[in-house]
Amino acid sequence: MSEQTRETGGSPLRRVVVVGAGMAGVQTAVALRERGFPGSVTLIGAEPHQPYDRPPLSKAVLLGKSEGSAFEVDFEALAVELRLGCEVVGLRPGAHELDTEAGPVPYDVLVLATGAEPIRLPGAEGVPGVHLLRTLDDAERLRPVLARQHDIVVVGAGWIGAEFATAAREAGCAVTVVEAAERPLAGALPAEVAAPMAAWYADAGVELHTHARVERVEPGEVVLDDGSRLPAGAVVVGIGARPATAWLTGSGIELGEHREVVADVHLRTSVPDVYAVGDCASFPSGRYGERLLIHHWDNALQGPRTVAENIVGGATGAPPAVYDPVPYFWSEQFGRFVQYAGHHAGADTLLWRGDPSGPAWSVCWLREDRLVGLLAVGRPRDLAQGRRLIESGTPMDPALLADPAKPLKAATAR
């Protein structure tokens, strides 16, 4: 293969360094090799563990059904150098160097894939019995807590809070969930869509407190802002995550309002020879007409393919690839499989398919007559067909779309 040159032209492109050994980082390294990149690829991870997948942490790993979730990737066969347990502390783009605790690391092209870090409960840092669930170490610390069947208070009724509450109930724990908003998933879904989900908590034997804030955590108790006290052998905090980008301060990399790396449609940053992908980066979506910041597994899987294509193609003069996916995620909670595709923020019509008090139903969002978002509960066929219809921008017939007996693909406008 001919020698590749840096995308800016000039010196040979020999070294790609990827910061972050989660899904986005690992898939970037794999995609580079799949596209024939011949130079060195270095993957740097802050954790000492072999790179692993995160979704099983709140399920099989947490419940002791699996010891881990390491990626089935042969890094040695791919000639990918792993530097694990290595903290990156800064970036000097002018020198094309990363600063790490182990010393500087030079690069020709850099990929930022540092993901997101959990938001901590104010005043609870270092308090015994207060846990997060983001890393393998977090899951391993929580596993014996569940095994002892403690009374557990979960702070936050978002996706991760619901998934942890589900696992804790399966383990036989008494679970109370505290949510500051008036309903679960308040930041993710409209009130009329999230409202039916509140009943899932009671059905599973979980006590849900909404309009409730944690005042403080005391030994064996959580004190709410109204003075009430909840027994708590352990507290699990799931109040959101933010991009892990503090180390980029002063580097010249443009950061957005959520402290995420601002990438363009090709996932390039504001600094030459630096890309960003996954939870740490936002990108402009032509499909939705706004900048998206997506903290979900599928984004960390898909984005690296665009990055790798642009790194390899940039050396050959190929037109750069554009990243504009139909966002997708799923959640398993309270015996239900919940899937979402698209982005509903700009929709002007909401349609139900099925009874939300039942075990299987969907919600469709339209902008004019195009499907832009879909939430499916126990209806995987709706999700699969809907995702393709969002991708294609096919005009839909609202009357047919609202009939749960009709396949989505049969609800297109005639």
Same fold, 15-117+242-314 and 120-237: yes
Nearest residue to 19 via CA among 103, 134, 105: 105
Q: What is the dotted CATH code of the domain comprising 15-117+242-314?
A: 3.50.50.60
Nearest residue to 51 via CA among 26, 74, 76: 26
Q: How many CA atoms lie within 13 A of 264 on its CB side?
A: 12
pLDDT tens per residue, the chain (414 residues)? Answer: 333 444 444 445 689 999 999 999 999 999 999 999 999 999 999 999 999 999 888 888 888 888 778 999 999 999 999 999 999 999 999 999 999 999 999 999 999 999 999 999 998 888 899 999 999 999 999 999 999 988 999 999 999 999 999 999 999 999 999 999 999 999 899 999 999 999 999 999 999 999 999 999 998 999 999 999 999 999 999 999 999 999 999 999 999 999 999 999 999 999 999 999 999 999 999 999 999 999 999 999 999 999 999 999 876 777 999 999 999 999 999 999 999 999 999 999 999 999 999 999 999 999 999 999 999 999 999 999 999 999 999 999 999 999 999 999 999 987
Tokens of 167: 């696992």
How many other C-beta atoms are found inside a 10 Å radius of the C-beta of residue 79?
12
Helix boundaries (H) for 357-405: 380-392, 398-401
Q: How many CA atoms lie within 13 A of 133 on its CB side?
A: 33
Domain ranges of the chain: 15-117+242-314, 120-237, 335-410
Do residues 261 and 179 lie in contact, with contact meaning Cβ atoms separated by under 8 Å? no
Domain 335-410 has what CATH class? alpha beta
**What superfamily would CATH give domain 120-237?**
FAD/NAD(P)-binding domain (3.50.50.60)
The Cα–Cα gap between 218 and 221 comes to 5
Nearest residue to 390 via CA among 327, 310, 339: 327
How many other C-beta atoms are found inside a 10 Å radius of the C-beta of residue 73?
16
Do residues 55 and 297 lie in contact, with contact meaning Cβ atoms separated by under 8 Å? yes
Tokens of 411: 């609800």
At CB < 8 A and 24+ separation, what contacts does 222-230 make?
222/153, 222/155, 222/178, 224/178, 230/153, 230/176, 230/178
